[in-house]
Every structure is written in C-alpha cells, then in structure tokens.
Amino acid sequence: MGGLRAAEQLRAAGWTGSITVVGDEPLMPYNRPPLSKEVLAGKESFESLAFRPRASVADAEWILGTAVTSADLARRVVGLGDGTELAFDGLVVATGVRPRRLRCPGPAAGRHTVRTVDDARALRADLARPGAHVVVVGAGFIGCEVAATAVALGAAHVTVADPEPLPMLRPLGDLLARELLRRHQERGVRFALGTPVTAFEGGDRVTGVVLADGRRLPADVVVEAVGSIPNTAWLDGNGLDLADGVLTDELLRAGGLPHVVAVGDVARFPNARYDGVPRRVEHWSMPADSAKRAAKTLAAHLAGAEPDPEPFAPLPAFWSDQHDFRLQSFGAPALGLDDTRVLDGEPGGDVVVGYHRSGRLVGVVALGGPAAGAAAARHRPALLEQPALTA
Amino acid sequence: MKVVVDMNKCQDHGQCVFAAPDVFRLDEAGHLAYVADPDESLRADVEDAADVCPLQAITVED
Ligand SMILES: Cc1cc2nc3c(=O)[nH]c(=O)nc-3n(C[C@H](O)[C@H](O)[C@H](O)COP(=O)(O)OP(=O)(O)OC[C@H]3O[C@@H](n4cnc5c(N)ncnc54)[C@H](O)[C@@H]3O)c2cc1C
Ligand code: SF4
C-alpha cells in the first residue's frame, strides 16, 4: 500500500521520471483491513480489496511476484530475487511487516497468521469446518477481530489466549481493555488470559494448545496474532539502523541519505507532534500520510532542490471493527495511559476516552457505534491544537 | 468533477470528512452526507479523501 501511495505522491510532488514498483506478492496492492473482518466473514469478495491506482501512475512499471533481496545504497542498485539488478536515483522503502510466529513445539498444520490474501483464504477455509474449536493466540487488534469474525461464522468455541491480563491492554489501557473483554465475553468469545502459550498438541495437525499454567485448550484451528517483524533483511549491509524497522529522520530519510526514504509499517520515525522518540506505527492511515511527506522529500532531492524542512507530524488514526462495535482512535493513546478520563458517554455504552500526558490530551479512543466515532472526531481539533510534548 | 460514494460499502468512518470537509460531512447520527458535484478547485482534497477512506468507497469521476 505504501508503495502505491508513494508512487502517486511522487507524481503529485512533480516527479515526471520513471517509477518502478517491486513487490513480492503476485497481486497489485490491496487493502488489508478487511482480511480479518468483512472478507474473512465472507461479506466482501477478495476481488473487492484491490486499490484503484490514480491515473497519474498509469505509466509506472510493476514488477510483481519478485522480491528485492539486496540493496547497495551507495551504488544505487537493488538486487531482485530473479538475479537481476535494478538501478535507481531514489528509493522508497515500503516493505511493511510480516507476522511474528510463536516458537513453540508442535505441529504446523492448522496454525494460521493473517497478513495476506493467501493467509485469509486458508484461514477462511479452515474456519468453515463445522463445529470448529478456534484458539486465537494474541489479544491485540487482529486477534480480537479474528475472534469476533470466527464467532460470526458460527465456530463452536472461540478462545483468545494472551499473557496479558486484558485484551488490547497496552494500546488502550485498563478502562477500555476491561470494557472490551466484557463485550467480547457477552458475544460468546472466551478468554485464557495472564498465561502464555507454551506448546501445540497433535500429530499431523494441531488438536490443542498448552498454556504455561498447565491448562489445555482443544483446538482445530489456531490463529497466531502475536505481533509483527519488519521486512528489512534486504537492506542489511548498508549501515542503516534496522533495530526495529528502518530508522528515519523527521523528513523520513533513512541513514541520513537524501535518496532513500521509508514509509508505512516499516518506517520508524520521530513524530514532531509528540516526544520526538522514533516509533513504528502500524496504522492504515500511515502509508498515505508518510508517503505524502516522503515523496516531497525525495522529489525535491531528485530535482536538485532542498526539501521542505517541515517535520513529519501526522495525527495517527486507527480503527478496529469487532462484533457490532468499533474502536476508533485518534492521536497516540499509548503515550497517555497513566491519565485516562471518560470524555463522553458511559463505559457500558458508547464511550469516548481521553489519554493525557503531562496534562495534555494526546489521544482519544471511541468504543461503540457510529455516534461514538462521531463524538471522538469532535475531539480531533483539540488533538491537532495541542503543542508538541517537547515544547 | 463527480464524486460517487458506494453507500453499500461506506461505514461512516468519517476519514473523508477530515480530508475534504467542504465535500463530506457526518450528520448528528454519525452518517455520511456529501456533495456529488463539488467544484474543480476541490479536486486535490477529494482525491485525498478517496485515498483515506478505509473501505475505499469513494470514486472520483471526471
Ligand atoms: C489483517 C489486518 C487487519 C488490519 N486492520 C487494520 C485496521 O482495522 N485499522 C488500521 O488502522 N490498520 C489495520 N491494519 C494495518 C494496515 O493494513 C497496515 O498498516 C498497512 O497495510 C501497512 O501498509 P504498508 O504499505 O506499510 O505495508 P504492506 O501493505 O504490508 O505492504 C508491504 C508489501 O511489501 C512486500 N514486501 C516485503 N518484503 C519485500 C521484499 N523484500 N521485496 C519485495 N516486496 C516485499 C510485502 O509482501 C507487501 O506486499 C491491518 C493489517 C492486517 C494485516
Ligand atoms: S471515509 Fe469512507 S467509509 Fe468513511 S464516511 Fe467517508 S466514504 Fe464512508
């Protein structure tokens, strides 16, 4: 997604030269969020996921089903999986992340992750087993969404396991995490919290999940939703900081190089709106926002000009649909977990929670129906007006 | 310029409203309303709105 948006934004920023997009998936860029929601539930088709590229990139060259396996940033070439090299003047790193896997003993068959169309197809087929016992490992947003979808698809038992005591505790804090747990339980999801998974049982195929406290959960289908690993191995050997994604400056340049920028899930950038600490942000809004800023930086360099010095300061936005409710987040709630206040409504119904740091509003999260989302949106101007945390 | 929102897809995220407030708005109940034939001067905003719609429900026609 970030690759497509970067191509479009390079055109918008005035770049008229050639653009080549290389991707290891065989498909044109597509929308991932429905893979754990509408498409997994069978409400939308896989075909509906394709993005409609802007007319401005009709002349871009797409090399699909081919991985970039190496890069020499000084020589300005990347090596492709088919053994060829591709020279460039400017490089946009948009390789995203892949699901982290659990390193537990046990069979591999019946265990899934959800990142790609192929992943979702395989999981959908497995969830169609009548009376399936589903165990979702990881109570983050993808785990919670998949659990909700599995219930909607009629799975007999859906259990979410996580070492944390509450679902989505780290991104949302205690108040909303408790409420989330209650709503999931009310809608038929079971939880095995506060204890990690240590092994999988079964012969050819998984039949159960073993927890550290000795409990065993029967399972025909396991979904591992335990976080992600940035795809950066192809950039090794160039002296970049790849500790957690690609470290960039506030103009999204990597390693201080004027001709290399990073966007989307893989970019670890300082957000001038907050404390300036570089972080990766795996929100859907980020590829578009970062591509816009990165394309300006790169297009200026390619034109021999100085880039606009305005630091990248996006207002992150995130949503998650689970059962009949939605979480809608604006800002950086995780920075304000120690000071949360209910801004609108009641925890049991449509509710909006504000997250504060040093007394300043840094994030707003709504839980509930469309009215809650609209209420959260009314706090957006206040979030935009807050001075930077470093100010 | 013609704007079409596939209302079967739209789930009232309201992201389009932030990108192009002169074209899209949410009513009190949180549901989307929009101008179908906005002025050409708003094209950049409308294209941004189409980009940020999580359901990719917005099409811009010439
Ligand atoms: C199931 C699911 C549900 C989600 N739901 C939500 C949601 O509800 N709300 C929300 O805000 N966000 C959601 N997200 C997050 C959102 O989809 C991502 O933030 C977004 O897709 C990131 O875009 P990207 O371009 O950075 O990465 P990607 O879309 O992953 O694109 C990176 C591409 O690079 C390819 N690639 C990797 N390595 C190489 C290589 N070496 N050579 C060539 N190509 C390579 C990858 O295969 C991939 O095609 C969800 C994500 C998933 C997986
Ligand atoms: S962003 Fe998309 S889903 Fe949201 S209100 Fe606008 S058109 Fe509807």
Residue A387 has pLDDT above 90, yes or no: no
- When pLDDT is averaged across residues A346-373 and rounded to a whole number, the result is 94
Give how many domains chain B has, as a whole number.
Answer: 1
Atom in ligand 1 nearest the alpha carbon of residue A266: 26
Lowest mean per-residue pLDDT among A21-25, A52-56, A86-90, A233-237: A52-56
Dihedral pair phi/psi, residue A361, rounded to 5°: -70, 120
Same domain (yes/no): A15, A85: yes
Q: Does a structural domain hold residue A279?
A: yes
Nearest residue to A264 (alpha-carbon basis) of A19, A90, A96: A96
Contact A250, A274 (CB under 8 A): no
For B7-56, what is each residue's pLDDT tens digit?
988 888 889 999 999 999 988 777 899 999 999 999 999 999 999 999 89
Cβ B23 under 6 angstroms from ligand 2: no
- C-alpha A135/C-alpha A190 separation (Å) is 9
Q: Which residue of B has its CA nearest to A5?
A: B51
User: Which chain A residues are Cβ-neighbours of B33 within 8 angstroms?
Assistant: none
For A143-172, what is each residue's pLDDT tens digit?
999 999 999 999 989 999 999 999 999 999
The pLDDT assigned to B61 comes to 85
Same domain (yes/no): A125, A50: no
Dihedral pair phi/psi, residue A120, rounded to 5°: -70, -35
Q: Choose the residue to mutate in B9, B16, B22, B52 for probing ligand 2, maximizing ligand atoms within 8 Å of C-beta.
A: B16
Q: Does a structural domain hold residue A23?
A: yes
Where residue A380 falls among pLDDT bands split at 50, 70, 90? very high
Beta-carbon contacts of A82 under 8 Å, excluding residues fewer than 6 positions away, are A66
Same domain (yes/no): A221, A237: no
- Both tokens assigned to A15: 């770049």
- When pLDDT is averaged across residues A189-202 and rounded to a whole number, the result is 97
- When pLDDT is averaged across residues A23-38 and rounded to a whole number, the result is 97
Q: Does a structural domain hold residue A204?
A: yes
Same domain (yes/no): A105, A94: no
- C-alpha A57/C-alpha A53 separation (Å) is 7
Where residue B3 falls among pLDDT bands split at 50, 70, 90? very high
- When pLDDT is averaged across residues A171-199 and rounded to a whole number, the result is 97
Type of residue numbered A278: P
Type of residue numbered A288: A
Residue B33 to chain A, least CA–CA distance (Å): 13
Characterise A148 by phi-psi region: left (phi > 0), alpha (psi -120 to 50), beta (else). alpha
Same domain (yes/no): A234, A373: no
Q: Are strands B24-26 and A351-357 parallel, antiparallel or unpaired?
A: unpaired
ipTM value, please give it: 0.89
Q: Choose the residue to mutate in B53, B56, B59 for probing ligand 2, maximizing ligand atoms within 8 Å of C-beta.
A: B53
Average pLDDT, chain A: 96
Contact A73, A184 (CB under 8 A): no
- Both tokens assigned to A221: 């289908």
Reduced to 3 states (helix: H, G, I; strand: E, B; else coil), residue B19 is: helix
Percent of chain A topping pLDDT 70? 100
Same domain (yes/no): A8, A92: yes
User: Which chain A residues are Cβ-neighbours of B30 within 8 angstroms?
Assistant: 369-371, 373-374
- When pLDDT is averaged across residues A32-52 and rounded to a whole number, the result is 95
Same domain (yes/no): A91, A158: no
User: Which of A201, A226, A251 delimits the end of a domain?
Assistant: A226
Reduced to 3 DSSP states, what percent helix, strand and coil does chain B have, rounded to the nearest 5? 30, 25, 50
The pLDDT assigned to A391 comes to 66
Q: Domain range holding A218?
A: 101-226
- When pLDDT is averaged across residues A74-84 and rounded to a whole number, the result is 97
Residue A68 has pLDDT above 70, yes or no: yes
Q: Does a structural domain hold residue A316?
A: no
Token pair 């460039």 is found at A88
Same domain (yes/no): A107, A144: yes
Contact A230, A246 (CB under 8 A): yes
Q: Does a structural domain hold residue A259?
A: yes
Where residue A379 falls among pLDDT bands split at 50, 70, 90? very high
Residue B57 has pLDDT above 80, yes or no: yes
End-to-end CA distance of chain A: 33
In a mutational test of the A interface, the residue from B56, B59, B62 whose CB has the highest number of chain A CBs within 10 Å is: B56
Residue A142 has pLDDT above 70, yes or no: yes
Atom in ligand 2 nearest the alpha carbon of residue B49: 1
User: Which of A226, A244, A260 delimits the end of a domain?
Assistant: A226
For A291-342, what is each residue's pLDDT tens digit?
999 999 999 999 999 999 999 999 999 999 999 999 999 999 999 999 999 9
Q: Which ligand is nearest to the CA of A321?
A: 1
Where residue A103 falls among pLDDT bands split at 50, 70, 90? very high
Where residue A129 falls among pLDDT bands split at 50, 70, 90? confident
Number of neighbours of residue A342 by Cβ within 10 angstroms: 13
- C-alpha A295/C-alpha A307 separation (Å) is 10
Instruction: Give the DSSP H/E element, type plus range, for residue A302.
Output: helix A285-302
Same domain (yes/no): A89, A238: yes
The pLDDT assigned to B11 comes to 86
Q: Check which CATH number belongs to the domain holding A108 and give it.
A: 3.50.50.60
Give how many domains chain A has, as a whole number.
Answer: 3
Number of neighbours of residue B4 by Cβ within 10 angstroms: 12
